[in-house]
Chains A and B, each alone.
Chain A
């Protein structure tokens, strides 16, 4: 059964490899500076290395699919995203795999009646504009700078060729490594809790955790995708939009990397803020969309006559189609799986304003009087509960989220099995002991578990003002929560 569920993750990995390799090697292959075969080999090797070495521990690798609460649902969501990416890859359009996944999750949200992450949808739309504009600006700037520098520094044509080729290869390798490290969670992360792989030690020197073995398989699927179907999208990026010189090809990948680094790297933001420097605003940037922007930027610097606007229009259309198609495919597939194959694609989430929930809501300064008649009444879906709330009082989105979270019913019991399976090194001994103390305890709401942990150990407490710590704690809590859920029986 594990292999069957994993197959859709691998299909997603394969599609991702076929589409996203173009972000890192597309311009190099399009300008014939690196042969497709060579690019695919390097890309494959470094995607695997990136995934296995830098694909972080289990607590951080839930990926986007972590939102889906039943494995059969995750299977369909991954499948829907994979089919979407596959279809657009066949047509040769560079699109964002993450956006396909988010779309497929929205399809699941709609089907399961759970809350839709509108912020994620908003980010997608913003990314369509922000990614190409930022990348285009940077690539135009960089191209101008490099063109004037090469005019001043006399470099032999063959040396220039060699430098550009080496640059493209290094940038491609680094990009492939990052591609593996950043995307592996989306491909197989969700399957880690049900993975049968045990830790493996090779001659006592190398140790491969079960998660790493799973990452290896996922990354191999990505590599295979690049090899078998990667060329088409690469040629769209490298040749289809406009004819490019090798130097322009290098500028495009550098601009892409620069934009991702400056505007999407939390590490950089943290570093700048901790050094007392102003940080760049973090904005939603998709590498697939940024690379297209980079190519346009160079085309515009050269006068814009060489840009094939029709191809660009099609690509933009494909971007819009991506999440919409994923939503649709996901919704329809879930319907079939649930009704025809009788599979449980989601665990219904009920809502009830219990006494504890009421106290929590009141503690947050929200009046509970208008909710009086809702007390102890069970609502079968988030949509239903929200509707009932909206009929009684007006809440802003922050308060609404708080009330929803407080009333969300999530019956769970901390079992010994769950406690024993905590093996991620990011969970400290103190944190583990706190979980152990909760053995046998029953909780009605998820926040109760979080509160109980915070009461037991300071290591489970949020430090006000420390954004980074909060995010880390959130991931650790998600990990514990999933373990408890997966080991309740």
Chain B
């Protein structure tokens, strides 16, 4: 009986790990997608889109399955609500990456070559912020004492991302040869990418509270 219970929960533990893998994977795919888009390699971009869509579906399935397991088997009663919110937060980040790639596909922004590096850098920092968040989450489940080692990095990357966004926006609006509508379109994309880092930081702040609650 005891073994049965243990086995069941090793299952859920793996599911959580895999879910976090998917979040992390979505960030990497998003980076690949942006690279392909900026290079004009639409074939590779399409492949990335398929990949990220599958990742999102798998992530959603996993999240639902985990949530169902937690509720139906009444696991971790004292942290249930927090874990649910945490998973929702991480899922929202995964959705943000997918949504970003979709927006590139639908709106096809015309990004001038001089902004390419800044956009890549911006996405890099957002992905780093999410990565740090994923590591904090893993620590929250496995070794709560080390959450703090990762969580502060989320803030660091978010600040870096803010700096690049500001710099990029200044460059966009300071560009003399672009229409205002074009500038605003580029600003929208810069903001969209920056929002990922912002949301990662919000999620990290909430995670911090969950950690304090569990340490009490």
Interface residues of A (CB under 8 A from B): 31-33, 35, 151, 154, 156-159, 161-163, 165-166, 169-170, 245-246, 302
**CB-based nearest B residue for A302:** B216
Q: Taking the complex as formed, is B102 at the interface, i.e. its CB lies under 8 A from any CB of chain A?
A: no
| Residues in B whose Cβ lies below 8 Å from that of A302 | 216
> Which B residues are CB-close (under 8 A) to A154?
142-143
Interface of B is mostly: helix
Among A151, A169, A246, the residue within 8 A (CB) of B77 is A246
**B75 close to A156 (CB less than 8 A):** no
What is the CB-to-nearest-CB distance from A480 to chain B, in angstroms, rounded to a whole number? 45
Contact yes or no, A158 B77, CB < 8 A: no
Contact B77 A157 (CB under 8 A): no
> Which residue of chain B is the closest to A162 with respect to CB atoms?
B9
Q: Are B78 and A245 in contact (CB under 8 A)?
A: yes
Contact B145 A158 (CB under 8 A): no
B residues contacting the other copy or chain, number (CB 8 A): 24
**B76: nearest chain-A partner, CB-CB:** A161
Total contacts A-B at CB 8 Å:
53
Is there contact, CB below 8 Å, between A159 and B9?
yes
Interface pair A31/B77, CB less than 8 Å apart: yes
Q: Does B5 reach chain A (CB closer than 8 Å)?
A: yes
Contacts of A246 in B (CB 8 A): 77-78
Interface SS majority for chain A: helix
Q: Which chain B residues border A170 with CB–CB below 8 Å?
A: 2
A170 and B3 CA atoms in complex are apart in Å by 13
Determine the distance from Cα of A35 to Cα of B77 in the docked complex, in whole angstroms.
11
A166 contacts B5, CB within 8 Å? yes
Within the complex, the shortest CB–CB distance from A391 to chain B, in Å, comes to 65
A158 touches B12 (CB 8 A): yes
Bound-state Cα–Cα, A257 to B198, Å? 50
Contacts known (A151-B145, A162-B6, A166-B6); A156 close to B13, Cβ less than 8 A: yes
Chain A positions within 8 Å of B54 at CB level: none
Q: Bound state CA distance, A245 and B77, in angstroms?
A: 9
Q: Does B178 contact A (CB under 8 A)?
A: no
Do B141 and A158 touch (CB < 8 A)?
yes
Q: Is B74 an interface residue (CB 8 A)?
A: yes
A121 to B142, CA, bound (A): 51
With A and B bound together, what is the CA distance between A170 and B5 in angstroms? 13
Q: Out of A32, A33, A156, A169, which one reaches B141, CB within 8 Å?
A: A156
